[in-house]
Amino acid sequence: MVKESFGTDGRDNPVELFTLSNGNGTKVKISTLGATVVSFLFLDKTGTLRDVVLGYDSAEDYLKNNGLYFGASVGRCANRISNAKVTIDGVEYALEANSGSNNLHSGSNGISYKIWEVEHIDEEANCLALKIVSADLEQGFPGNMTIRAIFTLTEEDALHIEYQAVSDKTTIANFTNHSYFNLAGHDSGNISGQKLKLYAKAFTPLAPKDSIPTGEICSVEGTPFDFTDFKEIGRDIEATDKQITYARGYDHNFVLENQGELKLMAEAECEETGIHLYAYTDRPGVQLYTGNFIHGHMGKQGAFYGERHGFCLESQYYPDAFRHPDFQKPLILAGEAYKAHTVFRLKLKED
């Protein structure tokens, strides 16, 4: 595993970049800042190495653009918590209101932009385990929590991402990886022409304001949210459907049917490069986010990134679960082990 310097966290603490590579020439780069997937390089159908995730060239650039969560590990609670308040065991905890009056991705000063420690490297298994300790009431959440992000690249070009957490108090655990995929290459612009299939027959609609779920679970049938068969991501993205206009595109949680087992959540493909993505998770939901709020700016190697230049498949518990009786709660008891497993596998499409 190659280790390089990736800059600092702005306080002179060094950030490192690790490269996992397999025998096919596939490479995954992980930064210790935010346990972040910086690059996912794969040979396309013409033999060109394509980097299919958005990112930056240094830790400093990640810190500068910290509202976008490119490739980051997000937690302790991914997605939104309304009114930035949560009650656990009868005690109300105040969180940071960093998205209107709500909490998004646990606040602006979370694990996504902190340095994780290298806990373990297994060269043979091509595996990197990172760890971070989050103190009691850090970001407002109860319990001292030890969090691990374990990245493994297989010979089948699958990137396994496993999150593990344990706390000394009953608390929230809901971690996700926030990679933005562009299967034509990170520097190739709009993803609207790429095709997507989701293994979800239902989604959780949003209230008109602030992207908070209403609590309903609605069928995707006959709506722009129907990705049960491959469809161009952009086909219905300009629809006048209210749900689409609330989020300026897709930024919605889809209901998966995996019953807690690792199963396909999504597939995506790009015709020009022939790159096909298979995404698996054991989580109950996935947020499809189509990069609706990426402001035009510079990314890796001078690439221009703008609106809809990447799509995210954020495996998770449903957003704002504490307010909705039908949504499974992302809670763990003191001492209980939290584990979440998500896989992103790349493959060339067979013609």
- Under the rule (CB under 6 A), what is the footprint of ligand GLA? 67-69, 104, 211, 251, 287, 289, 293, 312, 314
The torsion defined by the Cα of 291, 32, 137 and 289, in degrees rounded to 10, comes to 10
Residue with smaller CB distance to ligand GLA, 161 or 312: 312
Closest contact distance (angstroms) between CB of 111 and ligand GLA is 15
CB contact set of 254 (below 8 Å; sequence gap of 6+): 198, 200, 202, 203, 204, 220, 225, 227, 285, 286, 287, 288
Residue 153 or 312: the one with the smaller Cβ distance to ligand GLA is 312
Phi, psi of 318 (to 5 degrees): -65, 145
User: Residue 196 corresponds to which tokens in the numbers above?
Assistant: 């997507």
Query: Is 111 in contact with 73 (CB distance < 8 Å)?
Result: yes
Nearer to ligand GLA, 69 or 305 (CB): 69
What number of residues does the chain have? 351
In the complex, residue closest to ligand GLA by CB: 289
* 200-204 and 218-219 beta bridge pairing: antiparallel
In angstroms, give the least distance from the CB of 188 to ligand GLA: 20
**Nearest alpha carbon to residue 88 among 132, 140, 135:** 140
- Least distance from C-beta 66 to ligand GLA, angstroms? 10
Identify whether the C-beta of residue 94 lies closer than 8 Å to the C-beta of residue 140.
Answer: yes
Q: How far is the CB of 53 from ligand GLA (least distance, A)?
A: 14
Question: Which of the residues 105, 138, 162, 178 is marked catalytic?
Answer: 178
Active site residue 178: yes
Token output for 205: 């609609």
Q: Which is nearer to ligand GLA, 31 or 152 (CB)?
A: 31
295 is catalytic: no
Nearer to ligand GLA by C-beta: 66 or 154?
66
Joined together, the tokens standing for residue 21 give: 């590579």
**Active-site hit among 162, 267, 269, 314:** 314
To the nearest whole angstrom, how small is the minimum distance from the Cβ of residue 288 to ligand GLA? 9
Known catalytic residues are 178, 314
